[in-house]
Amino acid sequence: MFLKMENIVKDFGVVRALDHASLEVEEGEIHGLLGENGAGKSTLMNILAGILKPTEGAIYINGALQENMTTKKSTEVGIRFIHQELNSINDLLVFENLFIGEEIHDKWGFLNKKAMIEKSKEVFIRMGIDINPLELMENLDTSRKQLVEIGKALLFESQLIIMDEPTTALTNKEIDNLFSIMRTLKKEGVSIIYISHKMPELFTICDRYTVLRDGRFIDSGIFADIDEHRATELLVGRSMAEEFIVNDGIKGEVVYEVHGLCCEPFFREISFNLRVGEVLAITGLHGDGRGELAEALFGARHVSKGEIHLEGERIQLKSIKKVMEAGIGMVPRNRKERSIIKDFSIRDNLSIGHFVIKHKHLFINKEEETKRFEKNQRITRIKVGNCEDYITSLSGGNQQKVIISRWLEIDAKVYILDNPTQGIDVGAKFEIYKIINELVKRGKSVIVFSSEFPEIHKIADRCLIMYKGNINAEMTREELTEVKAMYYATGANMEGIDENRTYNTK
């Protein structure tokens, strides 16, 4: 047993990210670590790499207890971490990136460039890729940057390599290459912890698995003993028996149509339509192009091809204002970055949407604004003392209600909600679901982009599941189960690893 992590607990303030999670990795095995977003995979790995300190729990390497793990110590025992995000420094050369923080020095204490370049070449030969170590990092495309990142882990002797979603930016050929490197490493006795959302990859390359859910250890075993359905069930857990929000809005005519929308490399040939009073969920996992699609629908991202029609009329996607005037409203994801104007009061944050397309007078009127705020406050139940306080004084849920009110005020026909319940507590989430329900009752149509399956269950009439920039499946409320959704979102319906990235929906 090379690695044993026992009863790891990690608290962030009042939030318990890991609740007595355990993980065991044998020498020379590729271990798949599975879990939904927020299950605690990254936290556990950060603890192993010494980046985070566990609140409780023990880590054993080769049977020896490791106390006070630091990044330095972790490197010393041979643990290398390939991060999910690209950490490359674009203004440096490739070899400089490879050796960053671990430069080779000559006897005078100067950088030994020759040795570093030589070693870089060796690593790339071993990986079967032709990257020039003297190339400027900026000139590499994303997949090659990712490969350099992986190369970092191979520079030095290591015992355990953690790969956190290493394939999101890679082409299929590069993935095959990576897998053969992984198999070689395995033969050399190196262990690998492999984190991925993609079922075909996990089943292809991994020997054993560990599943985490809500920060807890769920199951561990051999991949050969389970199939993709079973794996998905383990991921998702109990069938969700929580209460549904009854969506009894009458579904009318098709009001909104998207035809063949393309925006390489994020998504392609996206077509769907939406009826009056319908809630359509669009879901998927990291790297599915969902966020970019949401932006494109709102005119915030340029599309190379495709049309959008609202009530039969083509929407000009040139500017956001034009899209708003046509009758589309959007609550963007990542509230803090994309919605909140932090130097504005609560009331002024609400007013902005109104000003952009409804306000026609020369001067603005504070009393009108306050009245508008009070009207919306009743609808969306914003809990607030004084509407002239800064918006940052509110809780996340209340901030989001202010932002939703901003868009209710423009009285759009179709509302696009991109991750509307991100980072807010359960109670506030529920209230936002109610608002969505009220919207469709009033004859509005809603598109919700979400990665949370329980949420989709509660609100959606229909669900599109995206995988690598395509719509992989479409399901009605009756057909939709969490297991199925996960099955299509992970691309598990693909036989093995898909070569050309195009496939049927069934």
Partner 1 sequence: MKTELTTQNKIFNEVKKFSSQHTYVFSFFALLLIAVLINKNFLSYSYLSTLILQSTIKGIIALGMTLVIISGQIDLSVGSLTALVSGLGVVVLNTTENMLVMLLFCMVFGLFLGTINGLLVTKGRIAPFIVTLATLSAFRSIIVQLGQGGPFNVSENVYQSFRLIAVGTIFKIPNLAIIFVIVTAIVYIVMEKTKFGRYIYAVGSNEKAASLAGINVVRIKTLCFSITGLLTGISAFLLASRLTSITAPNAGVSFELDAIAAVAIGGTSMNGGRGRIIGTFLGIIMLQMIEGILIAAKIPPFLTGLVKGVIIILAVLLQSRKEKS
- By CB neighbour count within 10 A (0-12 exposed, 13-18 middle, 19+ buried), where does 257 fall? middle
Q: Which is nearer to partner 1, 243 or 337 (CB)?
A: 337
For residues 162 and 31, give the distance between their C-alpha atoms in angstroms, rounded to a whole number. Answer: 10
Print burial letters for 183-194: b (CB count within 10 Å at least 16), e (below 16).
eebbeeebbbbb
Q: Which is nearer to partner 1, 332 or 491 (CB)?
A: 332
Tell me the closest approach of the beta carbon of residue 138 to partner 1, in angstroms.
17
Nearest to 49 by CA among 160, 133, 126: 160
Q: Which is nearer to partner 1, 407 or 487 (CB)?
A: 407
For residues 301 and 414, give the distance between their C-alpha atoms in angstroms, rounded to a whole number. Answer: 18
Q: Which is nearer to partner 1, 72 or 342 (CB)?
A: 342
Tell me the closest approach of the beta carbon of residue 363 to partner 1, in angstroms.
5
For residues 148 and 211, give the distance between their C-alpha atoms in angstroms, rounded to a whole number. Answer: 29
Instruction: Supply 412's token pair.
Output: 């759009």
Tell me the closest approach of the beta carbon of residue 454 to partner 1, in angstroms.
27
Tell me the closest approach of the beta carbon of residue 355 to partner 1, in angstroms.
4
- Binding site residues, partner 1, CB under 8 A: 298, 300, 319-321, 324, 330, 332, 337-344, 348, 351-353, 355-357, 359, 362-364, 406
Tell me the closest approach of the beta carbon of residue 235 to partner 1, in angstroms.
33
Contacts of 141 (CB under 8 A, 6+ apart): none
Q: Which is nearer to partner 1, 149 or 369 (CB)?
A: 369
For residues 44 and 162, give the distance between their C-alpha atoms in angstroms, rounded to a whole number. Answer: 11
Q: Which is nearer to partner 1, 200 or 353 (CB)?
A: 353
For residues 274 and 120, give the distance between their C-alpha atoms in angstroms, rounded to a whole number. Answer: 52
Tell me the closest approach of the beta carbon of residue 320 to partner 1, in angstroms.
5
Q: Which is nearer to partner 1, 209 or 298 (CB)?
A: 298
Contacts of 19 (CB under 8 A, 6+ apart): 9, 214, 215, 216
Instruction: Supply 3's token pair.
Output: 């690695």
| Crossing angle for the helix pair 346-357 and 366-380, to the nearest 10 degrees | 100
Tell me the closest approach of the beta carbon of residue 364 to partner 1, in angstroms.
6
Q: Which is nearer to partner 1, 136 or 352 (CB)?
A: 352
Tell me the closest approach of the beta carbon of residue 290 to partner 1, in angstroms.
17
For residues 430 and 443, give the distance between their C-alpha atoms in angstroms, rounded to a whole number. Answer: 20
| Residue 121: how many other CB atoms lie within 10 Å | 15
